[in-house]
Amino acid sequence: MAAYLIRRFLLMILTLFGMSILIFVMLRLVPGNISDILFDAAGMVNPADKARLEAELGLDQPIIVQYWSWIKGLLTGDLGYAYVSEKPAIDEILPRIPVTAKLAGLALFFSVVIGVPLGVISAVKQDSALDYVLRVVSLSGLSLPSFWLGLLILMGFVHYFGWIPIYTDKPSSFWHEVGLLSIPALAVGFRASALIMRLTRSSMLEVLRQDYIRTARAKGASNASVNYNHALRNAVLPVITIIGIEAAFLIGGLIVTETVFNIPGVARFLVEAIRWRDYPIVQNLVMFIAVVTVVVNFLVDMAYVVLDPRIKYED
């Protein structure tokens, strides 16, 4: 196990190193930089002023020098300065991480507590009227974009309650914040819950046809014991995999949702930074998303060992 963990850790480092190169190069391939945007917005270009601004921001240096400066800063905790606000990038990013983390956590929570039980019910009640209704609901969840669903929710609240559930001022309490975040979290988590529900259903149906399930029923085990203690425990591994994947991809779904609901989180800030070509902010935020994705995948692999003792990672 120790040798496996070492290999996996080294692979994570190599993956993040490759991602850092990809992030840095792709960002530089986008036409223009912040100096171009600022001078174009002013309607005039003074070559001397533009060159001086690029020198101050380090944009006149070779690409390899810029990359090394960024990586060295990451390793030492220096994320650089935001071009737009001229504040340390870490001071701009850190206050927004808890907001996005709470939103992503709520969305994942809703997707699991809705998707897994409904998937089990759909499998147990196969080909019944309830099963068909749940399958239609899951297809709807997979078909509706989260940002469009969010807009529908906003219009519904305005029409029926005369209130828009978006951030205007800082929430007055923890529960006030949870209430504001629950609505966009449901909009984002609806699609993930539909995917989890369909996978749970298919995995449960496969397990319910196994011989040991028939043996358990023949021995007089109750339906609840068969469905949850025997079937669900063995059907949960594929579900855990998709939950891990959805947790990593939630940030992508939050980009538009945070914008629609005016949530001051990391995802919305990333869109603003991309628009202004704020390289330090974009690089660090995308790298943060890459780290989260790699760590989540590692935790999913470790969860396999806990949930299924038959799985062993050999040294």
Task: Give how far Cα 39 sits from Cα of 35, 43, 157, Å.
Answer: 6, 6, 42
* pLDDT score of 314: 60
Which residues, 6 or more positions from 286, have their beta carbon under 8 angstroms from its beta carbon? Answer: 23, 270
| AA identity, residue 193 | S
107 vs 216: CA distance, rounded Å: 36
* pLDDT score of 313: 60
End-to-end CA distance of the chain: 5
Both structure tokens of 232: 């669900």
Helices 174-208 + 97-124 axis angle, to 10: 30
Over residues 18-75, the pLDDT tens digits come to 888 888 888 777 666 666 665 555 555 566 666 776 676 677 777 888 888 888 888 8
- 262 sits in which H/E element: none
- Are the beta carbons of 221 and 142 closer than 8 angstroms? no
253: burial class by Cβ within 10 Å (0-12, 13-18, 19+)?
A: buried
- Are the beta carbons of 144 and 195 closer than 8 angstroms? no
What does the radius of gyration of the chain's CA atoms come to, in whole angstroms?
24
pLDDT above 90: percentage of residues in the chain: 0
| AA identity, residue 226 | V
Over residues 133-156, the pLDDT tens digits come to 988 888 888 887 777 777 788 888
- Are the beta carbons of 84 and 276 closer than 8 angstroms? yes
In the chain, residues under CATH classification 1.10.3720.10 are 97-307
* pLDDT score of 308: 65
Both structure tokens of 45: 């270009």
Over residues 190-218, the pLDDT tens digits come to 888 888 888 888 888 888 787 777 777 78
The number of beta carbons lying within 10 Å of the beta carbon of residue 32 is: 9
Over residues 278-294, the pLDDT tens digits come to 778 888 888 888 888 88
Interior angle at CA 228, CA 223 and CA 232, nearest 5: 125
* pLDDT score of 277: 74
Is the pLDDT at 117 greater than 80? The verdict is yes
The number of beta carbons lying within 10 Å of the beta carbon of residue 225 is: 13
* pLDDT score of 91: 86
pLDDT above 70: percentage of residues in the chain: 86
Q: Report, at the CATH architecture level, how domain 97-307 is classified.
A: Orthogonal Bundle (1.10)
Over residues 217-243, the pLDDT tens digits come to 787 777 777 777 777 777 777 888 888
Is the pLDDT at 315 greater than 60? The verdict is no
The number of beta carbons lying within 10 Å of the beta carbon of residue 137 is: 17
Task: Give how far Cα 58 sits from Cα of 18, 42, 206, 261, Å.
Answer: 23, 21, 58, 35
Q: Which of 67, 40, 63 is nearest to 53 (CA)?
A: 40
Q: Is 170 helix (H, G, I), strand (E, B) or coil?
A: coil
* pLDDT score of 31: 65
What DSSP string runs through 64-115? HHHHHHHHHHHHHT---B-TTT-SBHHHHHGGGHHHHHHHHHHHHHHHHHHH
What is the rounded average pLDDT of the residues 4-21?
A: 85
* pLDDT score of 147: 72
171 vs 164: CA distance, rounded Å: 14
Q: Is 312 helix (H, G, I), strand (E, B) or coil?
A: coil
18: burial class by Cβ within 10 Å (0-12, 13-18, 19+)?
A: exposed
Both structure tokens of 110: 């809703």
Which residues, 6 or more positions from 264, have their beta carbon under 8 angstroms from its beta carbon? Answer: 96, 99, 167, 258
